Structure 1
Amino acid sequence: MTGTVVLDPLVPDWLLWAAVAVAVLFVALAIWRRLAGWWLRALAAAVLLAAVANPSLQREERDSLSDIVVAIVDRSASQRIAEREAQTEAALERLESEVAALDNTELRVVEVGDAEGDEGTLLMTALSEALAEEPQARVAGLFLLTDGRLHDAEQAPEAFPAPLHAILSGEEDDWDRRLVVQNAPSFAILGEPVTLTLRIEDQGAAPETGTVPLTIAIDGGEPMEFDVPVNEDLELPVTLPHGGMNVLQFQTPTLESELTGRNNAAVVQINGVRDRLRVLLVSGEPHPGERTWRNLLKSDSSVDLVHFTILRPPEKQDGVPVDELSLIAFPTRELFLEKIDEFDLIIFDRYKRRGILPSIYLDNIRSYVESGGAVLVAAGPDYASADSLYRSPMGDMLPAAPTARVYEEGFTPQLSDLGQRHPVTEGLEQSAPEGEDGPGWGRWFRQIEVDALPDTQILMEGIDDRPLLALDRYGEGRVALMASDHIWLWNRGYEGGGPQLELLRRLAHWMMKEPELEEEALTAEATGQTMRITRRTLDEETGDVTVTHPDGTKTVLTLDEVSPGRFETVWDAPEMGLYRLTDGEEESVIALGPAAPREFEETIASAEQLDPFIDGTRGGTLAMADGNFDLREVREGRPAAGRGWLGVTPRGAYVTADVTITPLLPAWAFLLIAASLVVGAWLREGRR
């Protein structure tokens, strides 16, 4: 309980002070006149003025409040490496016991995990939010149990109400090795090198090392190993092997003595794009579908088309002199010997042997495919004749043999069972236009009967389920055969038409070995930390997928069939980092966020970022590895840390429970005292 005297004047303040001035004047006059009782009159005036001031005694009933110590505990990913988690638990237990030993002191513990996305450790954000929830006048100390690596220093409180201390995890001899990709483009042009800048850097008390092994793998293929220097930038020229997404994986071995291997790998995803798709279209003779092929290819601005139509075959004898013809000579040698490797795709449209292309040129086309090229044959009656391309050196690579029979009747192309699962034709039936009898493609009116060769993939069928579209691999290249020359009817919209453009686009991309059109593939797409895993296969079933986490743990996932040949599942990954997927046959890698998240950019414990805040509050820094520490009470403004101890500032906060106000004297007592003094002054002056 405390008591104070308060004044509540009965008159306005200015009037009270005026009365004081008048009283002083009269007392001064009495002194000047040397009246014997002047001092009694002065006391009487003072008593009357005190009565007008109305003094009262105010008593407060106070309940003391406890002091609050706030502890922010870092539970981020970097705090779970080595022995840091156990160190943090031991330090927190010690802090709890020390606070419990203090009188009238409470401990508030706030735990901070990994932030969403790749924002890192938001330590100061948590501290600011914790202080906002506590009365500033009761906060006696602030403690950070962390490795000192935070990523929101700009969010620190503007002022700290108490000493700030850091208790750091880790060991003095900690060291770590980190692989950094400093620049990587999101896309690159095929055939042109792109330069990546890599760096392998050692942090902390690292052993002296000249070079370390570095492995590089593309799309999970056979890794290549190199010896590279440490703590130096490495310029690495890379030429992408194929179009579409190329996944480049870099890794350096993890040593037992380093803190973590989470930052020893990096993944770069570069989308390979073709500058131009160079296509050679050779039409054996003019026909209605020829212009359709040409218009389709020319409609794509990324296609460079070279088109030749044989209008005057050698056997044609019409008596017109050669120098009067306006036709362009077919540059066979230049196209099929000197520059054949410059083309990405060669299309033969109703072409048959007429002596224009000698066998050596046709054999060179076979070699071109065997070395990785692509050939599409759009067959008409020419393919069933004695002059068929199948009866040339190209016959070894073609996927189906003609029987010499040609069907001239209407039929509707259909996808085979394999075609419904193959990425080239998967889902094409969904684009079928509406007809009188429901959705369906328009009819064709000619089909060349062929017998498919072993291992040939039949994606479309025609009359009596005979092969219509056949695909095959030959050496490093790919070949496709369309056993009809009436696909142009789809482009003309006959009976509703069909997806000619989409079919041709997919076919060309499959022949260009684009990854998204591979028959057997395991892929993953990430949205934040949610992963969509897709297994594409020509089989009826697929096995489980094993996912290896960044920390080495594994999760087995079962995929569900969502469409013929496509199996999927959606999985929420527990953390950012590099994940490896395999089903025993196919492999894939995916990085959620960066391969080494922000948490693992700097893993050596350090108070460097915290020092400005700690010094400003005269706090201190201790290492968990040094053992136990003590808490001491220190006065505000004094040093709050020393060897083996950290200080808290008692706040002495309280809350007022009750207030009582009692007059010092009743009004009649003031009047009685004043009257007695006045009478006493009169009597004294009367004796004089």
Structure 2
Amino acid sequence: MTGTVIFDPLIPWSVLAAVAALALAGVVLALWRGLSGWALRALAALMVLAALAGPVYQIEDRAPLTDIVLLVEDESASQGLSDRPAQTAGAAAELVEALEARDNTELRRVTVKDGEGDAGTEMMTALAAALAEEPRARVAGIIALSDGRVHDMDRLPELPAPMHLLLTGRETDWDRRLIVDNAPAFAIIGEPVTLTLRIEDSGAVPPGATTAPLEISVDGGPPERFTLPVGQDIELPVTLPHGGRNVLQFTVPEAEGELTDRNNTALVQMNGVRDRLRVLLVSGEPHPGGRTWRNLLKSDSSVDLVHFTILRPPEKQDGVPVDELSLIAFPTRELFLEKIDDFDLIIFDRYKRRGILPAIYLDNVSDYVAKGGAVLVAAGPDFATADSIYRSPLGTTLPAEPSARVIEDRYRPAVTDLGERHPVTSGLDWDGEWGSWLRQVDLLPRSGHVVMQGIDERPLLVLDRVGEGRVALLASDHAWLWSRGYEGGGPQLDLLRRLAHWMMKEPELEEEALWAEAVGQTMRIIRRTLEEEVGDVTVTTPDGSTTEVELREVSPGRYEALYEGPEIGLYRLAEGDHEAVIGLGPAAPREFEQTIATDVALAPAIEAVRGGVFRLEQGLPTIRNVREGRPAAGRGWIGLTPRGAYETRDVTQSALLPPWLVLFLAAGFIVAGWLREGRR
């Protein structure tokens, strides 16, 4: 029970102040005139003013409330290193026992886990949520058990009481980490890109640790070993070996006494792209489709096109002097002998033997294909004649031979069953039905894959691999009808672009491929094949264990499966003769970027509320009570601020001046003053 005097004025305080000023003026006037009853008049005015102020005696029935102490326990990944879990558990048990033994004290335990994704230790987020659930006037203190590696200090809430950090870890801890900077997402195949590497030691580093080994592997292959200085930025030139995704793994072997090796590996995934695709287009006599090929290749900014159209063959003799011809001589020797290897693709569009390219040149084209080049033949009517390019040394490279028949009839090109599974022709999008073509050269397939068919299911597009190179044969010169919108047109641009990119070995158009796409810790495993069935994919996790994953067909020739990776790191995929690698998450998560226990992040917040920092390896501090605003930590002790909070159960009020008493006293003082002044 507590009693206090409060005021509940009958009129506003401003009006009451005006009345008091008026009364004071009257008393001063009486004093100035020498009236002997001025004191009695002043007492009467004072009684009236006191009554107007409304003094009330208030009695509260209060029940004391306990003080609340928050114990924040860091159970993030970095707290699992060395003996930190045992340190945390032992200290938490002792603190719980000591706090529960205190009078008028309640304990709230707050557990901090790793944040979602790679957010790290979100202690301030957890602390803010805990404070929001408690009356701030009852919080007497905050005790954190942590290594001090907090990653959300920007969310620091306003602390209502002293905060203390009991630091885990050892002063003798040391760690080594590998840092890779400025790693681009894309790089040009065959050209070096510079990565900046740094091997960094922190903590109580043992003497003599000035160099460290570094292992580098590409796509999970055998690593190469180097020795690098510690603490220096090293510029490392890297050349990507192939197009598509290249997975580079950099590893520093674990050193003796090191705190962890989780930050000794860095995964860099870069896509290899070609600088410029060099294409040689050789057109025979002009025809409407020639412009289609040219427009297609010129529309791609990554293509360097060299285009020659044979307008005047050598046998043409019309009497025009050579110096008056506005034509450029065909540099056959330069293109087909000296610089043929500079091209990624050679296209023969309705080309026939006209004495321009000697047999030795076309034989050189066959060697070019066998060594990894690509040739596309768009056949016109001449392909079925004796002047056909098939009748040259290049014929042994082509996947089909002409039957000497050219069919002039309307037909709609169609994708074969095999073509539905081939990446060049599968899923060609087009609104409506494909338009018709009007000509087709009859072919007799010898090898390769027929992916499109025409009249009476005759081969229209045949693809083949020759040696290390690729060859495509299109048995019609009427693809341009689609680009003109004839009978609604068709996916001519998409088809020809896919065809050109497949021949230039773009990874996304490989017909037999295994790869994976990652989102967080989930990977989508994708297997493309021309076969009717595929086996299970063997997934090898970073720790060496294996898992069999069954694939299901989602579209013709495409099989997929989702796999949730149990940990961060490099995964190997294998199905039959096909292998792939992929990295899930960062090689060194945020929790392991810095692992040495420190108070650097939390110190400013703790100093602001006059708290303290203590290492658990030096013993657990005792707990004392301190007054608010006083230092809350000292040698071997930490302080809690008793809040003295209470709950009001009942309130009673009684007037200090009853109205009848005010009236009686005020009237009495006025009458007494009048009588005194009257006798005088």
Question: TM-score with structure 1 length normalisation?
Answer: 0.82
| 1:168–1:395 Cα change, 3 Å | farther
Structure 1: runs of 5+ lacking an equivalent: 28-32, 34-41, 678-688
Tell me the amino acid that sits aligned with residue 608 of structure 1: V
Which residue in 2 is equivalent to 1:495?
487
**SS of 1:582 mapped into structure 2:** strand
Deviations 1:362-395 (A, max 9, x none): 2332333333322112233444455544454434
2:511–2:528 CA contact under 8 A, matched in 1 = yes
Q: CA deviation at 1:304?
A: 2.6
Which residue in 2 is equivalent to 1:169?
168
1:431-580 superposed matches below 5 A: 431=430, 434=432, 439-453=433-447, 456-527=448-519, 531-545=523-537, 557-570=549-562, 577-580=568-571
Deviations 1:535-581 (A, max 9, x none): 22223233444556667777654433221111234566677x44525
Q: Which moved further from structure 2: 291-300 or 380-389? A: 380-389
| 1:669–1:485 Cα change, 3 Å | closer
What is the rounded CA distance, in whole Å, between the counterparts of 1:353 and 1:48 in structure 2?
A: 130
**SS of 1:346 mapped into structure 2:** strand
2:247–2:583 CA contact under 8 A, matched in 1 = no
Tell me the amino acid that sits aligned with residue 2 of structure 1: T
| 1:448–1:673 Cα change, 3 Å | closer
Deviations 1:336-385 (A, max 9, x none): 12222222211112334444323332233233333332211223344445
1:447–1:462 CA contact under 8 A, matched in 2 = no
Deviations 1:477-525 (A, max 9, x none): 3222223333333333333332221111111111222121122333333
Which residue in 1 is equivalent to 2:307?
307
1:199-214 superposed matches below 5 A: 199-207=198-206, 208-214=208-214
What is the rounded CA distance, in whole Å, between the counterparts of 1:103 and 1:220 in structure 2?
A: 62
Q: CA deviation at 1:128?
A: 3.4
Which residue in 1 is equivalent to 2:235?
235
Which residue in 2 is equivalent to 1:36?
none
What is the rounded CA distance, in whole Å, between the counterparts of 2:300 and 2:170 in structure 1?
A: 62
What is the rounded CA distance, in whole Å, between the counterparts of 1:354 and 1:652 in structure 2?
A: 107
1:403–1:451 CA contact under 8 A, matched in 2 = no
What is the rounded CA distance, in whole Å, between the counterparts of 1:311 and 1:604 in structure 2?
A: 76
**SS of 1:421 mapped into structure 2:** coil
What is the rounded CA distance, in whole Å, between the counterparts of 2:499 and 2:218 in structure 1?
A: 24
Which residue in 1 is equivalent to 2:359?
359
What is the rounded CA distance, in whole Å, between the counterparts of 1:131 and 1:638 in structure 2?
A: 22
Tell me the amino acid that sits aligned with residue 597 of structure 1: P
Q: CA deviation at 1:243?
A: 4.4
Deviations 1:392-433 (A, max 9, x none): 4434433334455554544433222221111111112x42x5
2:383–2:441 CA contact under 8 A, matched in 1 = no
Tell me the amino acid that sits aligned with residue 592 of structure 2: F
**SS of 1:375 mapped into structure 2:** strand
| 1:235–1:668 Cα change, 3 Å | closer
| 1:168–1:342 Cα change, 3 Å | same
Structure 2: runs of 5+ lacking an equivalent: 670-680
Deviations 1:633-653 (A, max 9, x none): 333344433455432222221
What is the rounded CA distance, in whole Å, between the counterparts of 2:462 and 2:251 in structure 1?
A: 41
1:183 aligns with 2:169: no
1:521-670 superposed matches below 5 A: 521-527=513-519, 531-545=523-537, 557-570=549-562, 577-585=568-576, 586-591=578-583, 594-626=586-618, 628-642=620-634, 644-662=636-654
**SS of 2:394 mapped into structure 1:** helix
Q: CA deviation at 1:148?
A: 0.9
RMSD of aligned residue pairs (Cα, Å): 4.2
What is the rounded CA distance, in whole Å, between the counterparts of 1:676 and 1:603 in structure 2?
A: 85
| 1:384–1:633 Cα change, 3 Å | same
1:413–1:444 CA contact under 8 A, matched in 2 = no
Q: CA deviation at 1:147?
A: 1.9
Tell me the amino acid that sits aligned with residue 123 of structure 1: M
2:465–2:471 CA contact under 8 A, matched in 1 = yes
What is the rounded CA distance, in whole Å, between the counterparts of 1:22 and 1:134 in structure 2?
A: 56
What is the rounded CA distance, in whole Å, between the counterparts of 1:479 and 1:265 in structure 2?
A: 42
| 1:448–1:227 Cα change, 3 Å | farther
| 1:209–1:481 Cα change, 3 Å | farther
What is the rounded CA distance, in whole Å, between the counterparts of 1:546 and 1:83 in structure 2?
A: 36
| 1:221–1:674 Cα change, 3 Å | closer
Deviations 1:280-311 (A, max 9, x none): 11123334433332333334344332222233
| 1:290–1:155 Cα change, 3 Å | closer
| 1:125–1:7 Cα change, 3 Å | closer
1:33-112 superposed matches below 5 A: 53=50, 57-112=57-112
2:246–2:269 CA contact under 8 A, matched in 1 = yes
Q: CA deviation at 1:213?
A: 3.6
What is the rounded CA distance, in whole Å, between the counterparts of 1:10 and 1:353 in structure 2?
A: 118
| 1:413–1:222 Cα change, 3 Å | farther
What is the rounded CA distance, in whole Å, between the counterparts of 1:557 and 1:614 in structure 2?
A: 51
Which residue in 2 is equivalent to 1:150?
150
1:247-286 superposed matches below 5 A: 247-254=247-254, 257-286=257-286
Tell me the amino acid that sits aligned with residue 198 of structure 2: R
What is the rounded CA distance, in whole Å, between the counterparts of 1:106 and 1:643 in structure 2?
A: 25
1:121 aligns with 2:130: no
**SS of 2:481 mapped into structure 1:** helix
Q: CA deviation at 1:612?
A: 1.9
2:23–2:45 CA contact under 8 A, matched in 1 = no
What is the rounded CA distance, in whole Å, between the counterparts of 1:19 and 1:309 in structure 2?
A: 117
Deviations 1:17-58 (A, max 9, x none): 99899999999xxxxx9xxxxxxxx99x99997898577654
Which residue in 2 is equivalent to 1:686?
none
Deviations 1:567-599 (A, max 9, x none): 234566677x44525143444444556443333
1:160 aligns with 2:164: no
Q: CA deviation at 1:64?
A: 0.4
Tell me the amino acid that sits aligned with residue 500 of structure 2: A
What is the rounded CA distance, in whole Å, between the counterparts of 1:493 and 1:663 in structure 2?
A: 100
| 1:619–1:574 Cα change, 3 Å | farther
Which residue in 1 is equivalent to 2:677?
none
| 1:403–1:244 Cα change, 3 Å | same
Question: TM-score with structure 2 length normalisation?
Answer: 0.83
Q: CA deviation at 1:226?
A: 3.2
What is the rounded CA distance, in whole Å, between the counterparts of 1:225 and 1:365 in structure 2?
A: 41
| 1:471–1:163 Cα change, 3 Å | same
What is the rounded CA distance, in whole Å, between the counterparts of 1:556 and 1:628 in structure 2?
A: 50
Q: Which moved further from structure 2: 504-513 or 120-129? A: 120-129
2:418–2:450 CA contact under 8 A, matched in 1 = yes
Identity among equivalent positions (%) equals 65
1:410–1:446 CA contact under 8 A, matched in 2 = no
Q: CA deviation at 1:140?
A: 0.8
| 1:314–1:100 Cα change, 3 Å | same
What is the rounded CA distance, in whole Å, between the counterparts of 2:287 and 2:9 in structure 1?
A: 117
